[in-house]
Structures are given as C-alpha cells and as structure tokens.
Amino acid sequence: MTTTKPTQLLHLVFGGELTHLDGTEFRDLSKLDIVGMYPNYASAFAAWKAKAQGTVDNAHMRYFIVHLHRLIDPEAPGS
C-alpha cells in the first residue's frame, strides 16, 4: 500500500516599485520587498492585502502572489 503525500501549496508574496503603471518591470531589483512564504492562498492573500493597503499612496508600488507550487511541480493536481 502506498500513500501519497499532499502537495504543499507554497505561495510567495513580494513587491516593489514599478517603472510603469501598466507593466510589471521593477524600478530597482535591489529594493524588492520579499514579504514571505505562505502555506496556503488565504494567508498569502492576507499578507498581500496588508502590504498593498499600506502602500496605497504610491501608485507605482505593487505586490504580487506567486504560486510557487505550480512552478515546483507543474504536473501536480491543482497546479
């Protein structure tokens, strides 16, 4: 009997100042804000929302959620 381990749903939250409002190119990669890694989308979303709301006065500042589990194992269910 074999058991399958559940896939970890790793999420990375990060952000920085963009060069253009309609793009995704960062102005200075050395100033990226790596917020953290999260085990599920809900906690990643909460961290993203807090950071996004905290930088609302800077129109060029953007935060993103990256679904790392999709990059690590694209063949896994849910990716």
Q: How far apart are CA 63 and CA 73, in angstroms?
A: 24
Q: How far apart are CA 31 and CA 58, in angstroms?
A: 15
Query: pTM for the whole thing?
Result: 0.81
User: What average pLDDT does the chain have?
Assistant: 89
Q: What is the mean pLDDT of residues 14-27?
A: 96
Total domains in the chain come to: 1
CA 19 to chain centre: 19
- What digits encode the pLDDT tens for the residues 43-61? 999 999 999 999 999 999 9
User: By three-state DSSP, how is residue 51 classified?
Assistant: helix
Instruction: Tell me if 3 is assigned to some domain.
Output: no
Answer yes or no: is pLDDT of 65 > 80: yes
Give the domain extent around 61. 14-22+34-79
Instruction: Tell me if 7 is assigned to some domain.
Output: no
Report yes or no: 59 and 22 within 8 Å, Cβ to Cβ: no
Answer yes or no: is pLDDT of 20 > 60: yes
